[in-house]
Amino acid sequence: MIKTKSVAIQCPQCGSTDFEVPDNVQDDDIATCHFCGLEMPLHELREVGLEQAKDVVIPEAKKAIEEALKNIFKRK
Protein backbone atom coordinates (compact mmCIF):
# COMPACT_ATOMS: atom_id res chain seq x y z
CA MET A 1 0.00 0.00 0.00
CA ILE A 2 1.22 3.49 -0.82
CA LYS A 3 1.60 5.41 2.42
CA THR A 4 2.23 8.91 1.05
CA LYS A 5 -0.96 10.96 1.02
CA SER A 6 0.54 14.30 0.02
CA VAL A 7 3.84 15.80 -1.05
CA ALA A 8 4.74 19.42 -0.29
CA ILE A 9 6.30 21.25 -3.22
CA GLN A 10 9.83 22.26 -2.36
CA CYS A 11 11.56 25.33 -3.74
CA PRO A 12 14.03 24.10 -6.38
CA GLN A 13 16.61 26.58 -5.08
CA CYS A 14 16.48 26.21 -1.28
CA GLY A 15 14.06 23.36 -0.45
CA SER A 16 11.58 25.51 1.49
CA THR A 17 7.90 24.60 1.19
CA ASP A 18 6.55 28.07 2.00
CA PHE A 19 5.42 30.07 -1.04
CA GLU A 20 3.46 33.25 -1.49
CA VAL A 21 0.85 33.24 -4.26
CA PRO A 22 -1.93 35.70 -5.15
CA ASP A 23 -5.42 35.14 -3.71
CA ASN A 24 -7.06 34.54 -7.11
CA VAL A 25 -4.46 32.16 -8.52
CA GLN A 26 -3.92 31.94 -12.28
CA ASP A 27 -1.37 29.78 -14.15
CA ASP A 28 0.75 32.78 -15.19
CA ASP A 29 0.88 34.27 -11.67
CA ILE A 30 4.22 34.37 -9.92
CA ALA A 31 4.89 32.23 -6.85
CA THR A 32 7.58 33.53 -4.52
CA CYS A 33 9.54 31.42 -2.06
CA HIS A 34 9.31 32.99 1.40
CA PHE A 35 12.79 31.76 2.36
CA CYS A 36 15.05 32.59 -0.60
CA GLY A 37 12.84 34.88 -2.70
CA LEU A 38 12.94 32.73 -5.83
CA GLU A 39 10.16 33.80 -8.18
CA MET A 40 8.68 31.50 -10.80
CA PRO A 41 5.42 31.20 -12.71
CA LEU A 42 2.91 29.03 -10.90
CA HIS A 43 2.63 26.62 -13.85
CA GLU A 44 6.39 25.98 -13.64
CA LEU A 45 6.18 25.45 -9.88
CA ARG A 46 3.42 22.88 -10.46
CA GLU A 47 5.71 21.01 -12.87
CA VAL A 48 8.48 21.04 -10.26
CA GLY A 49 6.00 19.68 -7.72
CA LEU A 50 4.83 16.97 -10.07
CA GLU A 51 8.40 15.77 -10.62
CA GLN A 52 9.06 15.83 -6.87
CA ALA A 53 5.88 13.82 -6.25
CA LYS A 54 6.89 11.26 -8.87
CA ASP A 55 10.24 10.83 -7.10
CA VAL A 56 8.38 9.92 -3.89
CA VAL A 57 5.32 8.02 -5.10
CA ILE A 58 6.75 5.89 -7.93
CA PRO A 59 9.25 4.02 -5.71
CA GLU A 60 6.50 3.48 -3.12
CA ALA A 61 4.12 2.16 -5.79
CA LYS A 62 6.81 -0.11 -7.22
CA LYS A 63 7.52 -1.55 -3.78
CA ALA A 64 3.79 -2.06 -3.09
CA ILE A 65 3.31 -3.84 -6.42
CA GLU A 66 6.34 -6.06 -5.83
CA GLU A 67 5.03 -7.02 -2.37
CA ALA A 68 1.57 -7.75 -3.76
CA LEU A 69 3.00 -9.96 -6.51
CA LYS A 70 5.27 -11.73 -4.04
CA ASN A 71 2.25 -12.48 -1.82
CA ILE A 72 0.19 -13.72 -4.77
CA PHE A 73 2.87 -16.19 -5.82
CA LYS A 74 3.44 -17.39 -2.25
CA ARG A 75 -0.14 -18.59 -2.11
CA LYS A 76 0.21 -20.96 -5.05
Residue pLDDT, tens place only, 17-27: 999 998 888 88
Provide, rounded to the nearest whole percent, the portion of the chain with pLDDT above 70: 96
For the residues 6-23, what does the mean pLDDT come to? 93
What are the angstrom distances between the C-alpha of 52 and each of 30, 57, 66? Answer: 19, 9, 22
- Using only the alpha carbons of the chain, give its radius of gyration: 18
